[in-house]
Structure 1
Amino acid sequence: MADLPKETKQGLLEIMRRFRKGAYIPFLTPEGLTFSESRIVVGIYTARLEGERTIQPRFLAERMHMTPSALSQTLKLLEEKGYVERHRVSDDFRAVSLELTERGAEIAKEADAMRERHLSEMVEYVGVEDIDHMVATLHKILDFHEKQAEEGKIERVDHHCPRTKQ
């Protein structure tokens, strides 16, 4: 393979620094919720729409890429605010299913609509072809890194997004 042109290398490193340095969070949090709370409410809502019958905290933590402890703290706040309820699913006192209250479902729909508007505006600005190309390219980059990690050439580092600590 030919040497990477200096401009290409500099551009790639700069965009990687920008992605690492800061994340842009669209205002997708309905009034009264933190970013983390909004993510969890929408996560429960989306799982229900996808046909999940029982949404246990462990399932949601994995899906949301959160630690069980962080999820538990946020669920407690959502229960106190009246957005989420926990229901027992068996005789095991530890087994619970998460349910949105009527108020929680309303706020989830609002947050979901906000996210859809944001995505639509972004796609309109960037263009469908460019978005599709970017997604395909990012999949290739992730596949490359996963292969490199499997071969022991690089290390995979899990880091939790600081935004989820709200």
Structure 2
Amino acid sequence: MAGLPKETKQGLLEIMRRFRKGAYVPFLTPEGLTFTESRVVVGIYTAREEGEPIVQPRFLAERMHMTPSALSQTLKLLEEKGYVERHRVSDDFRAVSLELTERGYEIAQKADEMREQHLTEMVEYVGIEDIDHMVATLHKILDFHEKQAEAGKIERVDHHCPRTKR
């Protein structure tokens, strides 16, 4: 970063630290669900809305960047609370499909509406042009990092849990 103006370098590093240090999460936890529980319910809902015929734990864990054991614990709590059911897919006792109960579906819809409202408010605050520009810029940054990793210049680090301690 030797050629960058000092203010640009400082601003970029500061914003990167802020993104890494703290994640701001809108309150998408209707009816007292934890953040993780709400995320899993919405994850099942979204997968079904996108046309996934069967939502299996492995698929959901990968999609949500959760460890299978963390997801399993959360699913157990959601089953106990009456939001999720597991159904056997075949004779293999390990193969299950995740289904939302009526109560789970209602909560997922409410959380999805809350997320939509949050995004709408953010876009109204920031402005659609700035949001579109930011998305395009972040895609360029990701492309840059992917090319750097492919060239062996940097290492990719996968975070399996979205709420890991930093």
TM-score by length of 1: 0.95
In structure 2, runs of 5+ residues without a counterpart are: none
In structure 1, runs of 5+ residues without a counterpart are: none
Task: Determine whether 1:23 maps to 2:23.
Answer: yes
* Match runs of 1:137-156 below 5 Å: 137-156=137-156
Task: Determine whether 1:99 maps to 2:99.
Answer: yes
Deviation at 1:158, TM superposition (A): 1.7
Find the aligned partners of 2:57 and 2:5 in 1 and give their Cα distance.
48
Q: Deviations over 1:49-102 (max 9, x none)?
A: 111111000000011111111100000000000000000111111110000000
Letter of the 2:111 partner, please give it.
Answer: A
- Matched residues, percent identical? 88
Deviation at 1:32, TM superposition (A): 2.0
SS of residue matched to 2:99: strand
Deviation at 1:33, TM superposition (A): 0.5
TM-score by length of 2: 0.95
Deviation at 1:118, TM superposition (A): 0.2
Letter of the 2:117 partner, please give it.
Answer: R
Find the aligned partners of 1:22 and 1:48 in 2 and give their Cα distance.
30
Letter of the 2:43 partner, please give it.
Answer: G
Alignment-derived partner of residue 68 in structure 1? 68
* Match runs of 1:13-92 below 5 Å: 13-92=13-92
Q: Deviations over 1:85-142 (max 9, x none)?
A: 0001111111100000000000000000000000000000001110000000001001
Deviation at 1:31, TM superposition (A): 2.1
Find the aligned partners of 2:44 and 2:157 in 1 and give their Cα distance.
27
Alignment-derived partner of residue 162 in structure 2? 161
Find the aligned partners of 2:101 and 2:28 in 1 and give their Cα distance.
20
Q: What stretches of structure 1 move > 2 A for 4+ residues in a row?
A: none
Task: Determine whether 1:6 maps to 2:6.
Answer: yes
